[in-house]
Amino acid sequence: MYVYDPAGHKLMPVVAGDLRARSNRRGAAATAPVNIFYVVDLAKYGSAPFQEPGLKDTEIQKSYFFVDTGLIAGNVYLFAASTGLAAWFHNCDKENTQKELKLRPEQRVLFAQTVGHPA
pLDDT tens by residue, 82-96: 999 999 999 988 998
Q: Under the phi-then-psi rule, with left for phi > 0, alpha for psi from -120 to 50, and beta for the rest, what region is 71?
A: alpha
Beta bridge pairs of residue 88: 114
The residues near 11 (Cβ < 8 Å, ≥ 6 apart) are 2, 3, 4, 5
Could you read off the pLDDT of 38-96 as tens digits, one per residue?
A: 999 988 877 777 767 777 788 888 998 999 999 999 999 999 999 999 999 999 889 98
Q: Helix, strand, or coil here: 101?
A: coil
Beta carbons of 41 and 52 less than 8 angstroms apart? no
